[in-house]
Amino acid sequence: MIRPNNLLTIGLLLFVCQICTAQSIFGKWKTIDDRTGKPKAIINVYKKGELMYGKVESILEIGREEARCVKCEGDRKDQPIMGMTIIDGLQKNKNDEWKGKTLFDPEQAMTFRCKIWLNPSNSNELKVRGYLAFLFRTQTWLRVED
């Protein structure tokens, strides 16, 4: 028979374990094309100082592994997409969202204002929203376990 004190201890341990394993926004994420539903790339989302960054770690589309940014201008022109920084200098706000002016789409060679947050009902989903004027598009990226 389990004593009430033991039940309290077990419950407290489970609660502490839940807090300790709370998911972070940082790590590797699989991008999913919101139009086709197909995986496109793995993005490593990381923090440097107080800012968020994201870099293309691998391309999942068959035949595009060596893709270059042919539509890009300036420093990115004809550069490999693999290794490219696509999220640059986002700041965290009080709602646990990260916002900024630099979410880069190499396929369109366009930079968008953006907002990124963990799905509150599923911490293995990252919501990534890009804004162009008053229009926006949101993708759901999936956590990649190491």
pLDDT tens digits, one per residue of 56-103: 999 999 999 999 999 999 999 999 999 999 999 999 999 999 999 999
As a whole number of angstroms, the distance between CA 20 and CA 133 comes to 39
Question: Mean pLDDT, to the nearest integer, of 1-21?
Answer: 45
Residue at token pair 């969202």? 97
What domains can you pick out in the chain, each with its CATH number?
25-143 (2.40.128.520)
The band of 1, judged by pLDDT with boundaries at 50, 70 and 90, is: low
As a whole number of angstroms, the distance between CA 98 and CA 95 comes to 9
As a whole number of angstroms, the distance between CA 126 and CA 143 comes to 7
Count other Cβ atoms within 10 Å, centred on residue 78.
9
SS3 15: helix
Question: Mean pLDDT, to the nearest integer, of 34-45?
Answer: 93
pLDDT number for residue 99: 97
